[in-house]
A and B are shown apart, each in its own frame.
Chain A
Amino acid sequence: MIADGREVRTFASLRFRREREQSWIELESLVDQVRLEGLRSLSSEQVERFPLLYRSTLSSLSVARAIALDRALLEYLDNLALRAYLTFYAPPLDVLAAARRFALYGFPQAVRALRWQVAIAFAALAVGLFSGFVLVNGNEQQWFGALVPSDLAGGRGPASTAAELLSTEIAAPVPENVFGAIANGFFSHNTLVALLVFGFGLLAGVPTILLTVYQGAILGAFFALHYHRGLSVEFAGWVGIHGVTELLALVLMAAAGLRLGEILVFPNESSRTDAFAIHGPAAAKVAVGAVGMLALAAILEGYFRAAVQSTDARLAVAVLGLIAWGVYLRFAGREAPT
């Protein structure tokens, strides 16, 4: 009975597969070749064929969905179209070129897009700084310990004398293990807070503001401590040499965190996940750049601060740093592509 099977009229999906099959197999071999040997391994004819085959396979998929009930075929075409799409639309990126483009254009542009959030973060930091200073000034016993965690104070406090502060803190020598000191600088309280300030943006931005104010208050408390002992200028130099960069990074992180909170609370026309997909990367760009600034601040803090002992020189670095960051963030990458 099997032997005398007779020919019947070929039906649509059977014919469709016979006619298109070769082009799918060709595309599949190209996709595999790129996956294993990279885009450069394609010959010029293959490069020409690829988009044609890709588009014809997409059309095959649409046709198959409309006419074919063969599940294996549908799954194969879906999978092939996806793999070809990933090869076609997600080519590998040049890491160095991407980094360069980010530093020259992406980061300053993203910061400028967040100018309101930056202003709010600055205001929060200033409020904290001011209140910390006012609270601690003249009230050290009561407020310094309440505002500054004891580990962060590192023995400094109402009991410290001006001479102690000068010798152990402001004029401390270059540490023996520079890498360790830089690492300590990076993983200091401030960096962690900066990163958390960004992450907490996902909690609608409220903890972001609170933490930023609190950071300002800690700094204000330290400032009051030194002011009271006639060391304000020395302290300004000691903090400023890296603090300008570090605090600016903190403010940018807070601004990015506020943006995240804004997206979460006001997704506008789109769903929240869509709103994050559209606006999230711009906020993240600011945070990424700020992490770079934090690393720079850690190098300044761990090595250069101790290497440069003159308060005047420290202040000069701080002022120059402030100007440089201001000019960079305001003017860099203005006429260039995003």
Chain B
Amino acid sequence: MEIDKILNPFKDSVIHVFNTMLNLEPLAEDAINVLEREITSDITGTIGVIGDITGTASVRFPRALACRIASLMMGTEIHEINNVVKDAIGEIANMVTGGAKGILIQLHEISYKLAIPTVILGSDHTLSYPTGITVKAIPFIIDDQKFYLEICLKNGE
């Protein structure tokens, strides 16, 4: 399975989640190879999948955008990363990965199980992956803020 074949359903799922839950319209840019261009973020929601494809899918945000997303989801102003923001970003990762699963089943009969989401915090943190595996990311723009969908997936065993 080519990772590029999996990317589009994830991209469409990100756009659908942001449109439906947040009334935001993120603009997707061209996918990048993460091993050639390291990505940093302040908060990452990551979720493991296992099945026809196996690996992780992550949504990665700068601090300000994560707070804006949590504010929209909770209906209250949030200015600092706290447990509510962490929970919101975990839920975004969950919805994006679940939504992509629905599209992948329809398009390619690819299915997987989702793990419980994990949230990683730290200013400008990076993610590390095993060597020899392809990791791709799609940058998205909302107003002047950028966030990333990052996927590291291979054929299931």
Bound pair: A and B? Answer: no
Interface residues of B (CB under 8 A from A): none
